Amino acid sequence: MSKLRIGGRLYSSAWQRAKNAQRGGRARARVHSAEWRRRSAQHAARARWNPLRVSRGLPPLPDVVVEPVQRPRAIFTRECRDLARRRAAYDGVPYRDAMAWDPVVVSLVCEKLGIRYRGSA
């Protein structure tokens, strides 16, 4: 009797697209330098465990400086999120990540970065 899997993570279309596009995991490991990956992992571990260290009376470990990725898409995403956070604070509403992809926000960021915007706003 054959056991065919119908659902699950490995069979979702998003996972298949990510696998075919080679995003995440090993693809990410090939893109970033070993030093950047080490610093990023240390930063994440310290962000996770420092509150526990403090609650146990131990001194927190110093933060590790991790430089943000400077690729065009990463810069665009950061700018969109920053503008959306400022707009949410001004409006007095909690920030949600979907606010960063509002057509008005995207068009303003495109204008700031000198990118041609092909949207409807």
Give 45-65 pLDDT, tens digit per residue. Answer: 999 999 999 999 999 999 999
| CB-count exposure of residue 58 (10 Å: 0-12, 13-18, 19+) | exposed
pLDDT for the residue 20: 72
pLDDT at 2 > cutoff 70: no
pLDDT for the residue 5: 59
Q: Is 40 left (phi over 0), alpha (psi -120 to 50) or beta?
A: alpha
Per the prediction, the chain carries an average pLDDT of: 85
pLDDT for the residue 23: 67
pLDDT for the residue 32: 82
Q: Pick the residue with more confidence: 61 or 6?
A: 61
